[in-house]
Amino acid sequence: MKDRESIPKATIERLPLYYRCLDKLANFEDVDVVSSKDLGGRLGIPPTQVRKDLSYYGEFGRRGVGYDVFDLKRSVGRILGVDEVWTTILVGAGNLGRALVDYKGFEKMGMKLVGVMDADLSKIGNKIGGVEVQSIKKMDEIVSENDAKLGIITVPTDAAQEVADEMIESGIKAIWNFAPTRLHVPEDVTVRNEDLAIGIVSLIYHLSWKKRDEEEGK
Amino acid sequence: MKDRESIPKATIERLPLYYRCLDKLANFEDVDVVSSKDLGGRLGIPPTQVRKDLSYYGEFGRRGVGYDVFDLKRSVGRILGVDEVWTTILVGAGNLGRALVDYKGFEKMGMKLVGVMDADLSKIGNKIGGVEVQSIKKMDEIVSENDAKLGIITVPTDAAQEVADEMIESGIKAIWNFAPTRLHVPEDVTVRNEDLAIGIVSLIYHLSWKKRDEEEGK
């Protein structure tokens, strides 16, 4: 494998796409061998890019033949770490929390939800996705009992930093943050901000410039 | 403004962050003037990057003084197109659809939801976020009556392409797709895929390599 620090973020973000596609090929379509052209074609990624992305991690496939679907799926799964189980807690049992808990794709990616918490006492005891909502005061207990390392934050903006602090205190090492605010965390904690406003605004930006171009008769 | 095609995607994705921060400064903190250092500091973005991002679109602020918060907010809003109202439909009234409809931040970004639809007859008539769920058969009518240009897809994967086809047929020009599948659309339609699995897997990837490093005693 090449120096891990030098692997582009875009490559890392394409690996889950390859993994999901290979899983589909192996388990639902009974395909044994796939070329970079086929794999890329299904994902809208040029075959040269597919080969380049994989080449960061080693040599896979055979020239002129293609990749063994099962082998490549296993290798990519190992690279991603989704061949292991990652125990996860979620704080914020609102609609977004519910939507995430219900999303079946996450389990395939190694995520195992071991606790859902909320500060709102009226939500405690509700079941979402088969998991009972518990008080946020149980966080320490839930995290240590399950050795959870991953935390998902789906609380309102104002509560996000406090929840993050509590997560880190209890041993969480990676946070998936859906609150539109910047979290302050120690260096050894990884944060990924999933800021949904960026999605809608980038579409509005494109629509808006298209409209301006049309008005100017471009 | 520089050639629009040459502006990095990362810059475009930071603009909504600046906009939201400026809005907060103007409306909740009564701040009149902000430096690139202050603005960047609040967002975890280096001041040089802030200045570079803005410089793609023109000259803002005064050296040694900073930016007028109100002016810059208005300018960035105009660049993004969020100073206009963009009528939007959403198809798929499940938990994720509900979460998006409830998200107050979108209205600030110019999005106005004019219709929520679902194929599931049992959901029709329910209200989510104050909007009544209607049959997907009403799409044409809703889109043309409201001149909607933006469509949000929160249906299961198998239904996503069909919904996208119907959206495009009825006049939608930009699609925000939450189904983890690649949509095939004509060239003049913009798609943004919000693939949530990528978020969780990129965190798992980091956790997993951290663990391997620790095991190897690095």
Task: Match 């994989």 to its residue by tokens.
Answer: A54
What is the percentage of chain A residues whose pLDDT exceeds 70?
A: 99
CB atoms B81 and A204 under 8 Å: yes
Among chain A residues, the shortest Cα distance to B191 is held by: A203
Q: Are B80 and B53 in contact (CB under 8 A)?
A: no
Task: Match 């802030």 to its residue by tokens.
Answer: B50
Q: What is the mean pLDDT of residues A23-39?
A: 93
Query: A76-90, B8-22, B93-107: which range is least confident on average?
Result: B93-107
Q: Can you say which residues of A are annotated as belonging to the binding site for NAD(+)?
A: 92-97
Tokens for B101? 């409809």
Select from B43, B103, B208 the Cβ nearest to the Cβ of A84. Answer: B208
B25 is in an annotated binding site: no
pLDDT classification of B107: cutoffs 50, 70, 90: confident
Distance CA B195, CA A110 (A): 16
Distance CA B79, CA B56 (A): 11
Distance from the Cα of B116 to chain A's closest Cα (Å) equals 16
Q: Are B16 and A201 in contact (CB under 8 A)?
A: yes
What pLDDT does residue B60 have? Answer: 92
The CA angle A158-B75-B54, to the nearest 5 degrees, is: 85
Helix (H, G, I), strand (E, B) or coil at A66: strand
pLDDT classification of B217: cutoffs 50, 70, 90: confident
Distance CA A64, CA A126 (A): 55
* Chain-centroid distance, C-alpha A44: 20
Interface residue of B189, B200, B213 to substitute, partner A, most A CBs within 10 Å: B200
pLDDT tens digits, residue range A99-112?
998 887 888 889 99
Q: What is the mean pLDDT of residues A147-160?
A: 96
Select from A95, A201, A203 the Cβ nearest to the Cβ of B102. Answer: A95
Across chain A, what does the average pLDDT equal?
A: 93
What pLDDT does residue B65 have? Answer: 86
Query: Which residues, in sequence order, are CB contacts of A208 under 8 Å at separation 6+?
Result: B80, B81, B84
- How many contacts does A have with B, using Cβ atoms within 8 A? 170
Distance from the Cα of B154 to chain A's closest Cα (Å) equals 10
CB atoms B192 and A199 under 8 Å: yes
CB atoms B109 and A197 under 8 Å: yes
pLDDT classification of B3: cutoffs 50, 70, 90: confident
Residue B108 clears pLDDT 90, i.e. is over it: no
Distance CA B184, CA B164 (A): 8
What pLDDT does residue B102 have? Answer: 85
Taking alpha carbons only, the member of B194, B200, B199 closest to residue B181 is B194
CATH, range B4-79: 1.10.10.10
Q: Are B150 and B176 in contact (CB under 8 A)?
A: yes
Which letter does DSSP use for residue A138 in this model? G
Taking alpha carbons only, the member of B96, B75, B64, B59 closest to residue B18 is B75
Q: Can you say which residues of A are annotated as belonging to the binding site?
A: 92-97
What is the percentage of chain A residues whose pLDDT exceeds 90?
A: 76
CA-atom Rg of chain B in angstroms = 21
Q: What is the mean pLDDT of residues A176-190?
A: 94
CB atoms A80 and B205 under 8 Å: yes
Distance CA B205, CA B199 (A): 10
Distance CA A77, CA B205 (A): 10
pLDDT tens digits, residue range B42-77?
998 999 999 999 999 999 988 888 999 999 999 999
Distance CA A37, CA A35 (A): 5
CA distances from residue A76 to A79, A83, A162, A176 in whole angstroms, order as listed: 5, 9, 36, 22
Residue B218 clears pLDDT 70, i.e. is over it: no
Select from B20, B79, B201 the Cβ nearest to the Cβ of A197. Answer: B20
Distance CA B184, CA A49 (A): 20
What pLDDT does residue B40 have? Answer: 95
CB atoms B201 and A19 under 8 Å: yes
The DSSP-derived string for A98-132 is HHHHH-THHHHTTEEEEEEEES-GGGTT-EETTEE
CB atoms B173 and A210 under 8 Å: yes
Chain B residues within an 8 Å CB radius of A1: none
Across chain B, what does the average pLDDT equal?
A: 93
Distance CA B36, CA B144 (A): 43
Q: What is the mean pLDDT of residues B89-113?
A: 90
More confident residue, B217 or A131: A131
Chain B residues within an 8 Å CB radius of A209: 4, 81
What is the percentage of chain B residues whose pLDDT exceeds 90?
A: 76
CA quadruple B106, A203, B31, B75: dihedral positive or negative?
Answer: negative
Distance from the Cα of A144 to chain B's closest Cα (Å) equals 17
CB atoms A205 and B15 under 8 Å: yes
Query: A150-154, B5-9, B190-194: which range is least confident on average?
Result: B5-9
pLDDT tens digits, residue range A58-72?
999 888 889 999 999
Distance CA B31, CA B29 (A): 5
Q: What is the mean pLDDT of residues A175-182?
A: 93
Interface residue of A1, A39, A154, A203 to substitute, partner B, most B CBs within 10 Å: A203
Helix (H, G, I), strand (E, B) or coil at A199: helix
Q: What is the mean pLDDT of residues A17-46?
A: 93
Select from B16, B150, B190 the Cβ nearest to the Cβ of A198. Answer: B16
CB atoms A196 and B200 under 8 Å: no
CB atoms B205 and A15 under 8 Å: yes
CB atoms B205 and A180 under 8 Å: no
pLDDT tens digits, residue range B141-184?
999 999 999 999 999 999 999 999 999 999 999 999 999 888 99
Distance CA B139, CA B142 (A): 5
Chain B residues within an 8 Å CB radius of A21: none
Residue A218 clears pLDDT 70, i.e. is over it: no
- Residue-range domain boundaries for chain A: 4-80, 86-198
More confident residue, B126 or A4: B126
ipTM of the complex: 0.90
What fold does the segment set A4-80 form as a domain?
Arc Repressor Mutant, subunit A (1.10.10)
Q: Is the CATH code 3.20.20.80 the one for domain B86-198? A: no
Tokens for A93? 């049992």
Q: Are B169 and A159 in contact (CB under 8 A)?
A: no
